[in-house]
């Protein structure tokens, strides 16, 4: 699968997650853009740019997603 196709798949996954209200924060689209950039970070320059953002902002978004998923599991 080509890199462009993978990016489209992730975009579709996010779109469906928004639709299902599994995620609601618009920063997920920025996370996707960062993820796509990091996929081509062969020398560590890009990760250095985003490291603080990932820790300060994105980690809470991932923990919130985990809470949502765990809540769904508890319902089953």
Tens-digit pLDDT profile for residues 16-65: 999 999 999 999 999 999 998 998 999 999 999 999 999 999 999 999 99
pTM (two decimals): 0.74
Instruction: Parse the chain into domains and list their residue ranges.
Output: 3-75
Question: Would you list the DSSP string of 15-76?
Answer: HHHHHTTS---THHHHHHHHHHHHTT-SSSHHHHHHHHHIIIIIHHHHHHHHHHHHHHHHH-
Band (12; pLDDT cuts 50, 70, 90): very high
């Amino acid at each position: 699968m080509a890199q462009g196709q993978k990016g489209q798949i992730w975009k579709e996954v996010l779109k469906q997650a928004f639709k299902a209200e599994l995620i609601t924060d618009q920063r997920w689209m920025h996370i996707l853009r960062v993820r796509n950039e990091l996929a081509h970070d062969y020398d560590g320059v890009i990760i250095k740019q985003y490291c603080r953002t990932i820790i300060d902002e994105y980690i809470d978004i991932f923990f919130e997603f985990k809470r949502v998923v765990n809540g769904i599991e508890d319902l089953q």
